Amino acid sequence: MYESTGLFDRSRLGYLRVATIAPAVRVADVAYNVEQIEAALREAAGQGVQLAVFPELCITAYSCADLFYQGQLLAAASDALPRLAQSASIAGMACVVGVPLMVAGRLYNCAALLADGHVAGIVPKRYLPTTGEFYEQRWFTAADRSLPPTVAIGGVQAPFGTDLLFATRDMPDCVLGIEICEDLWAVEPPSGRLALAGATLLINPSASNELLGKAEYRRDLVRQQSARCLAAYVYAGAGPGESSTDVVYSGHGLIAENGTMLAETERFHFATQMAVADLDLQRMNHERVRNSSFSQAAGDTALRTVYFGLFGADEGAAAPVNRPLARTPFVPADPARRAHHCREIFSIQSTGLAKRLRHIGAQRVTIGVSGGLDSTLALLVIAHAFDTLGLDRAGIVAVTMPGFGTTARTRGNAERLAEDLGATLRVIPIGESVRLHFRDIGHDEGVHDVTYENAQARERTQILMDLANQVGGLVVGTGDLSEAALGWMTFNGDHMSMYHVNAGVPKTLVRYLVAWCADELFTGDTAAVLRDIVDTPITPELLPLGAGEQLEQKTEETIGPYELHDFFLFQVVRYQFAPAKVFYLAQQAFAGVYDDAVILKWLGGFYRRFFAQQFKRSSMPDGPKVGSVALSPRGDWRMPSDAVSALWQEEVGRLEDAGGRGGVMRDS
């Protein structure tokens, strides 16, 4: 594995391992509570946690009520902070704990960040609930007035206030902002201000009790605030060891990142509960850079920044990332969710085409059908668009153009599907016209080079364009998002159309969309044809067949597996990750499927093709965006056609050198 180069330093890749912890507590038993927190710190350290978050007022328990007036309890809680800071340092981590503190004659409900063996800073709670079962204003003062800038803890002055950001010296992407429980439920949570000022990780020690339906609401609240702030959010709720005089607490801990829930604790356990996840704070900064509303919002320059050290042993490349990681990021693993995605995407595609047809008043289209996945999906989309507009499907001119590499299987499937859908089928062999073209330009038909292949693709596009003029329609393109990323298309051949319905659909998803159509929209012979198309190898069918109609050309043998390329595409375009990080994630996603050398070979090939083929994307036809990754030159992706890939290729080369094997794929 690639462990010794520094390329996989977890902090360099932007990962921070955090834990939300609901420790076992006893009401007003500070000594017991401190012991439980320390035990939880040791357990978390064993899991590689670098930052742990504990609940609101966990040192005393939240539900002490009028015992908060007892000076003995407050003194014990304050005295516990230096001890816990040392315990966290010994465990090699930082932590946030909830504590009541007397400051200048007022009692505050506080969260303390413990790091570097001391109290790095203390944040008091701003919004105190005093409705229903809550009456915090009876004991605490809200942090909505002038506060002293520091407070003495163990003879040392610690920064104090709601104007604190905590930045790590080790990870430039890691900046903490702290709010407490009710702060999140307010109309304008402090976390919004903190995020605009640079906080990428928002922390909330809480003591939210359980009521019917409240867990779902809380979960949505945390998830949505992480999305709104383009941040990670760690929420630690008080556990059932709190007093149950009138309410019950469950120990609900949540870890979210930009709208996605990464982990949560099991509720209603008296023993300490913990949930651990790796946050990608580098990703959060990338999201902010590309988000115009975030960049236009004013940050609060009045905040103070406190710097602290972040410990935790780096486990290198061998350590799997502790967060959901999909091998097929464009294709949900859950069948129900995948079916929902397919239905939505199919509707977006067909509605986009219907709008274009309606706008120009066209009642006919031409499409080249090969019996492959892309043209099949496009044909199905066209049929649905025609149905939406009430047009006769006979206006769909489906053209199969057998050439030198066409198999009986693909041609037969294309013809049967067109007939089943009620389209007008045209069979126009291209062999004779391509041979004439070879003679015109002086090309030897026996030389199966790029000229040999592209002449067929361009001949097919010419036929479709001329037929569209003949019938008064438009040409619907069939190429997909993955092909656009890799430039796996013939310029001014299949690259061109008058509307590109598959432009936003990656190859790994095309297969599932066709399968979904077979399962949900069709039955009988049509469904059987679609399922056979799903099982057909991906090929452009541009090289002559071997003995027994054996395919001599399979796309993935030439350019690499589409599941790898779609994984690369998602990480590179959606999150702007560097090659080292893309490789690190691919290692884990494809463990046991592809070894490191194979991944690096095709990763190098992806970058080479992606940069070299931008000129094709710059002149792509209109087509609908369907997901978060799109390459339209008019929409999401604006890139110079002559940009140089050297910087990215050099990093791939360093990864190969570190592994001692593999090689960057050369152009073929």
CATH number reported for the structural domain that contains residue 416 in this entry: 3.40.50.620
**The tokens of 645 are what?**
């890939």
Contact 637, 484 (CB under 8 A): no
Note whether residue 565 is domain-resident.
yes
Give burial (CB, 10 Å; 0-12/13-18/19+) of 91: buried
pLDDT category of residue 539 using cuts at 50, 70 and 90? low
Q: What is the mean pLDDT of residues 373-378?
A: 97
Q: Does 197 have pLDDT greater than 70?
A: yes
Contact 505, 477 (CB under 8 A): no
- The DSSP call for residue 562 is H
Please state, in angstroms and rounded to a whole number, the distance separating the CA atoms of residues 570 and 576. 9
pLDDT score recorded for residue 298: 81
Note whether residue 430 is domain-resident.
yes
Q: Are residues 622 and 489 in the same domain?
A: yes
Rg (CA), the chain: 30
Q: Which residues pair with 426 in a beta bridge?
A: 399
Is residue 125 among the annotated active site residues? Answer: yes
Please state, in angstroms and rounded to a whole number, the distance separating the CA atoms of residues 314 and 501. 46
Q: Are residues 42 and 88 in the same domain?
A: yes
pLDDT, one tens digit per residue, over 152-166 is: 998 999 999 999 999
pLDDT category of residue 1 using cuts at 50, 70 and 90? very low
Please state, in angstroms and rounded to a whole number, the distance separating the CA atoms of residues 291 and 584. 26
| CATH number of the domain bearing residue 71 | 3.60.110.10
Task: Look at residues 318, 347, 382 and tell me which one is the last residue of a structural domain.
Answer: 318
Alpha-helical (H) ranges within 487-534 are 507-520, 524-534
**The tokens of 219 are what?**
């979960």
Is residue 355 among the annotated active site residues? Answer: no
**The tokens of 133 are what?**
């079962």
Buried-state track 47-68, b at ≥16 Cβ within 10 A, e below 16? ebbbbbbbbbbbbbbbbbeebb
Using the Cα atoms of residue 595, residue 598, residue 601 and residue 603 in order, give the sign of their dihedral. negative
Least confident span in 72-76, 130-134, 397-401, 467-471: 130-134
pLDDT score recorded for residue 550: 57
Q: Which residue has the tokens 């019950």?
A: 248
Q: Are residues 250 and 347 in the same domain?
A: no
Q: Does 551 have pLDDT greater than 80?
A: no
Q: DSSP assignment of 589-639, as one string?
A: HTTTTS-HHHHHHHHHHHHHHHHHTHHHHTTPPP----SS----TTTT---
Q: Are residues 306 and 351 in the same domain?
A: no
Active-site entry in 58, 64, 181, 342 = 181
Residue 160: strand, helix, or coil = strand
Structural domain for 524, as ranges: 335-659
pLDDT category of residue 569 using cuts at 50, 70 and 90? very high
Note whether residue 5 is domain-resident.
no
Q: Which residue has the tokens 């395919």?
A: 551
3-state helix, strand, coil in the chain (%, to 5): 40, 15, 40
Phi, psi dihedral angles at 326 (to 5 degrees) = -90, 135
**The tokens of 439 are what?**
């003679």
Q: What is the mean pLDDT of residues 338-355?
A: 97
Q: Which residue has the tokens 């120009």?
A: 360
Q: Are residues 426 and 346 in the same domain?
A: yes
Q: Are residues 309 and 367 in the same domain?
A: no
Please state, in angstroms and rounded to a whole number, the distance separating the CA atoms of residues 20 and 54. 6
Note whether residue 452 is domain-resident.
yes
Q: Does 434 have pLDDT greater than 70?
A: yes
Ramachandran quadrant class, 334 (left: phi over 0; alpha: psi -120 to 50; beta: rest): beta
pLDDT category of residue 241 using cuts at 50, 70 and 90? very high
Q: Cα–Cα distances in Å, from 75 out to 28, 64, 248?
A: 12, 14, 27
Note whether residue 596 is domain-resident.
yes
Q: What is the mean pLDDT of residues 156-177?
A: 95
| Strand-pair category, 175-178 with 51-53 | unpaired
Note whether residue 324 is domain-resident.
no
Q: Does 423 have pLDDT greater than 80?
A: yes
Q: Cα–Cα distances in Å, from 587 out to 152, 219, 318, 577?
A: 49, 31, 9, 15
Note whether residue 22 is domain-resident.
yes
pLDDT, one tens digit per residue, over 377-389 is: 999 999 999 999 9
pLDDT category of residue 547 using cuts at 50, 70 and 90? low
Task: Look at residues 284, 318, 352 and tell me which one is the last residue of a structural domain.
Answer: 318
Residue 531: strand, helix, or coil = helix
Q: Are residues 151 and 89 in the same domain?
A: yes
Ramachandran quadrant class, 377 (left: phi over 0; alpha: psi -120 to 50; beta: rest): alpha
Contact 479, 446 (CB under 8 A): no
pLDDT score recorded for residue 555: 74
Q: Are residues 55 and 162 in the same domain?
A: yes
Strand order in the sheet with 175-178: 260-264, 253-257, 232-237, 201-206, 175-178, 164-168, 304-308
Q: Does 8 have pLDDT greater than 60?
A: no
Note whether residue 375 is domain-resident.
yes
Contact 331, 514 (CB under 8 A): no
Ramachandran quadrant class, 19 (left: phi over 0; alpha: psi -120 to 50; beta: rest): beta
Active-site entry in 95, 125, 210, 601 = 125
Buried-state track 220-234, b at ≥16 Cβ within 10 A, e below 16? ebbbebbbbbbbbbb
Task: Look at residues 283, 318, 353 and tell me which one is the last residue of a structural domain.
Answer: 318
Active-site entry in 56, 287, 541, 563 = 56
Checking 357-362 for CB contacts under 8 A at 24+ apart, the result is 357/385, 357/389, 357/391, 357/474, 358/389, 360/474, 362/472, 362/473, 362/474
- pTM of the model as a whole: 0.91
Q: Are residues 117 and 216 in the same domain?
A: yes
| Strand-pair category, 304-308 with 164-168 | parallel
pLDDT score recorded for residue 235: 98
Q: Are residues 252 and 340 in the same domain?
A: no
pLDDT, one tens digit per residue, over 247-271 is: 999 999 999 999 999 999 999 999 9
Q: Which residues pair with 209 in a beta bridge?
A: 249
| Strand-pair category, 365-368 with 396-400 | parallel
Phi, psi dihedral angles at 431 (to 5 degrees) = -55, -50
Contact 485, 569 (CB under 8 A): yes
Q: Are residues 347 and 304 in the same domain?
A: no
| H or E segment and range at residue 103 | strand 94-103
Alpha-helical (H) ranges within 239-369 are 281-289, 292-296, 335-360
Q: Which of 333, 331, 401, 399 is nearest to 365 (CA)?
A: 399
pLDDT, one tens digit per residue, over 23-51 is: 999 999 999 999 999 999 999 999 999 99
Q: Which of 390, 378, 388 is nearest to 417 (CA)?
A: 378
Tally of domains in the chain = 2
Please state, in angstroms and rounded to a whole number, the distance separating the CA atoms of residues 434 and 460. 10
| Strand-pair category, 51-53 with 94-103 | parallel
Contact 385, 353 (CB under 8 A): yes
The more confidently predicted of residues 543 and 417 is 417
**The tokens of 576 are what?**
């702007």
Distance of CA 22 to the CA centre of its chain: 28
Is residue 181 among the annotated active site residues? Answer: yes
At 459, which amino acid appears? E
When the pLDDT of each residue in the chain is averaged and rounded to a whole number, the result is: 92
| Strand-pair category, 253-257 with 260-264 | antiparallel
Q: Are residues 575 and 489 in the same domain?
A: yes
Q: Which residues pair with 399 in a beta bridge?
A: 368, 426
Q: Does 668 have pLDDT greater than 50?
A: no
